[in-house]
Structure 1
Amino acid sequence: MNYEDRDTYGIYRGQAETGGPDQRRGPGPEMMGANTLIGNDVYNHNAEDLGDIKEIMLDLRNGTVAYAVLSFGGFLGVGEKLFAVPWHALTLDTQHKRFVLNVEKEHLRHAPGFDKHKWPNMADQSWANEIHAYYGTKPHSDDPRM
């Protein structure tokens, strides 16, 4: 499923007709509604399906999107593993209306993850450091783009 399918407020209306974002008809891909991104597919650079976004985690201390919680593996929610992927590790593929995470499927299989009934303390700095090190990103406080 993609963000256009969940666009209840018409944020992206007009994009299908023009083949891409129409800046005159909404915010475009630089500014998107978080609710429309839940459920979006995530693929890697080899066009392999890595799962979908289950949640978007906001860092309320500094007003940024910190992580996308990605579901991977399992069948119909049974046996699936959740992963907090640093937001900066994802890119939006507007042509295919999905996100791209530049990791091999096997790398994600071995990523630090968690069960849907036992979420980690994402505000814990040591946990954040581990996640960012795994994906090769920097925490927001260390990121020169912030």
Structure 2
Amino acid sequence: MTDDPIDVESLARSDLIASDRVEGTIVYNRKGEKLGRISNFMVDKQSGQVRYAILSFGGFLGIGNDHYPLPWSMLDYDKDQGGYVVELDKEVLDDAPRHDAEARPVYDEPYGRSVYDYYGLTYPW
């Protein structure tokens, strides 16, 4: 471990990002509307691959937010906006799979298939 200062400029150019910098990142749709923030993400224990970004949306001051699992492949990082962009209208979230913070679903194959099916994607596992 070193005491060297972090080169923030180099981090911005990197293809990698620390998990604590993903959490809290704003998610926009293609119209530039703010959909919410990434509250956390789900990582495959074996491969280390991120499967879902959990979009936190609704509620007031973070209380009562719903959490929407979005397949990671749906997100594109936009440097200009400093956030992730997804091809979704806000209305699509009305019926999307979601849960509250205290009632996380089991992210098993049937649940994963239901999430991917909802967004019109092929479940890859």
Once the two structures are TM-superposed, the CA of residue 99 in structure 1 deviates from its matched residue by 0.4
Q: Which residue of 2 aligns with 1:144?
A: none
Distance change (3 Å), C-alpha of 1:116 and 1:129: same
1:138 is aligned to 2:122? yes
**DSSP 3-state at the match of 2:13:** coil
Distance 1:30 1:136, change over 3 A: farther
- In the alignment, the residues of structure 2 paired with residue 46 and residue 40 of structure 1 have an alpha-carbon distance, to the nearest angstrom, of 17
Identity of aligned residues (%): 32
Give the whole-Å Cα distance in 2 for the aligned partners of 1:10 and 1:133: 41
What is the letter of the counterpart of residue 88 of structure 2? V
Matched, 1:88 2:40: no
Structure 1 residue 27 displacement after superposition: 7.0
SS at match of 1:77: coil
Aligned partners of 1:82, 1:43: CA distance in 2, in Å?
15
Distance 1:29 1:83, change over 3 A: farther
1:10 aligns with 2:9: no
RMSD, aligned α-carbons: 1.7
Alignment length (residue pairs): 121
Q: Which of 103, 106, 118 does residue 118 from structure 1 map onto?
A: 103
Query: What does residue 52 of structure 2 align with?
Result: 67
How many angstroms apart in 1 are the aligned matches of 2:73 and 2:20? 18
SS where residue 30 of structure 1 aligns?
Answer: coil
Could you state the TM-score of these two structures normalised by the residue count of structure 1? 0.76
Q: Give the alignment partner of residue 13 of structure 2, picking from 13, 17, 28.
A: 28
Greater Cα shift, 64-73 or 75-84: 75-84
Partner letter of residue 128 of structure 1? G
Change (3 A) 1:103 1:62: same
State the Cα distance separating 1:88 from its structure 2 match: 0.4
Segments of structure 2 that go 5 or more residues without pairing to the other structure are none
Structure 1 residue runs of 4 or more that deviate by more than 6 Å after TM superposition: none
**1:56 corresponds to:** 41
Partner of 1:6: none
